[in-house]
């Protein structure tokens, strides 16, 4: 069975480098988003913890992470959390749709633009 089409050896070096580049880029984008929200950027590197930090950014409790384990419910809550992230940076439904359907464009825009963190779901934090 040496002729299997779906093994790791059949993927070329260029493809692996591209995949590594995409992963590194998204980690950097999330790092920037976390820093804009006043969270440590390194939190983007740690699985599960980065979701907890994202929940904190959008103002939802930690136990929401359990809802991401339930099929179908996880999709609804992921869309909701994306909308809350958009609102947290003073953006609207258009940005939410962009984050959902054109994430490779809209997440970097959120990270590198002059969008400011307004507080959980857009509520201005005290002292700001």
pLDDT tens by residue, the chain, 128 residues: 555 555 666 778 888 899 999 999 999 999 999 999 999 999 999 999 999 999 999 999 999 999 999 999 999 999 999 999 999 999 999 999 999 999 999 999 999 999 999 999 877 544 44
Number of other CB atoms surrounding residue 60 within 10 Å:
18
Token couple for 17: 């480098």
Q: What sign has the CA pseudo-torsion 97, 99, 105, 106?
A: positive
- Determine if the pTM surpasses 0.75: yes
User: Which burial class, exposed, middle or buried, applies to 2 when counting CB atoms under 10 A from its CB (0-12, 13-18, 19+)?
Assistant: exposed
């Amino acid at each position: 069975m040496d002729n299997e089409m779906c093994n790791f050896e059949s993927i070329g070096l260029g493809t692996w480098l591209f995949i590594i580049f995409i992963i590194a880029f998204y980690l950097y984008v999330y790092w920037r988003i976390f820093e804009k929200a006043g969270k440590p950027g390194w939190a983007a590197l740690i699985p599960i913890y980065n979701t907890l930090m994202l929940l904190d950014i959008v103002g939802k409790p930690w136990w929401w992470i359990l809802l991401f384990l339930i099929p179908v419910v996880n999709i609804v809550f992921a869309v909701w959390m994306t909308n809350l992230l958009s609102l947290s940076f003073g953006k609207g439904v258009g940005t939410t749709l962009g984050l959902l359907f054109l994430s490779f464009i809209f997440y970097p825009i959120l990270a590198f633009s002059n969008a400011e963190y307004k507080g959980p779901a857009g509520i201005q934090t005290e002292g700001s």
